[in-house]
Amino acid sequence: MSISRRELLAASALIPSVLRAASLSQVRIGVLSDEIDEDLATDIEFLRPFGVRYVELRSIWGKYNTAQPLDKIREARKLLDAANMKTSVVGTAFFRGPLPQDTPEGNEALQKQWTLLNDAMDRAEILGANCLRTFAFMAPKNEKPKDSDYGRIHELLREAAKRAKARNIRLAVENLGGSYVSTGADSAKILKAVKDDALGLTWDPNNAAEMGEKPFPDGYNLLDSSRIYNVHVRDYRRLPDGKFEWTAVGEGEADNLGQIRALLKAGYKGVFTLETHYKSPQGKAFATKTSLTALLKVVEKV
């Protein structure tokens, strides 16, 4: 259900215009839109007072973008164009599943993934984006991954990069807890094994932290920064009982300022995308408003 106009106005009220201008002159800020609302028009109206001009599209109008017919994707593009906004990255579930083995069943599953990739690239072209957020398969639970698994993953990622390059698309593999690539260290190994620059990273320091890595500077320093094509920002903290939770930006342990400074120094030209995750009793829009306002204060210091 979409948020009401009253909730929308409350969530986006009292944003200092001077803060918006200062922040957006230093970095390109985006938001993963469905962490505001599933209705794209609502997301656009929410973001307008912040001056944010980039969105990462995942679900729109209640469906994953790759499940929406192309006419709906064209409608999304028209809405964004009218608002002078751009799709920075198209979120996909490509290779976010078990690693398909070289068997009849595995090859059938793999063919579905190639179809998904083609569908995602079709949508990216309509949206005017040249980057897809992808993955590198979910690892088996309670099992140590085999060396042969990584060989298979590298083979499939090389093929995916080849297909993407043919359509001038880049794949940005996200490090994700529970996957074969969950930390900076894992990400560095993938980049070393797959040299094609059509394949890079969605660097998510928060996911790396959830897996026990110190993402900045330790995990980040292992990476080839020139192959970071997308960055997710938010915040987290570890509780005294050892549990891990997402927080509003500025209320946790993430060194967002240090990470942003380091990426800019390295020449990063992409978007810093707020993937809120933090849950508020006042709803998704309020949670995103809280974190986005705090993120603008962080980047103002850059």
- Please give the model's pTM, rounded to 2 decimal places: 0.92
- b (16+ CB within 10 A) / e for 98-129: ebbeeeeeeeeebeebeebbebbbebbebbeb
Number of domain units in the chain: 1
Q: Give the pLDDT band (50/70/90) at residue 2.
A: low
**In terms of residue numbers, what domain contains 35?**
5-300
Residue at token pair 């990622």:
157
d(CA 174, CA 202) in angstroms, rounded, equals: 4
pLDDT tens digits for range 200-251: 999 999 999 999 999 999 999 999 999 999 999 999 999 999 899 999 999 9
Q: What is the mean pLDDT of residues 258-279?
A: 96
pLDDT tens digits for range 60-81: 999 999 999 999 999 999 999 9
**CATH number of the domain bearing residue 285:** 3.20.20.150
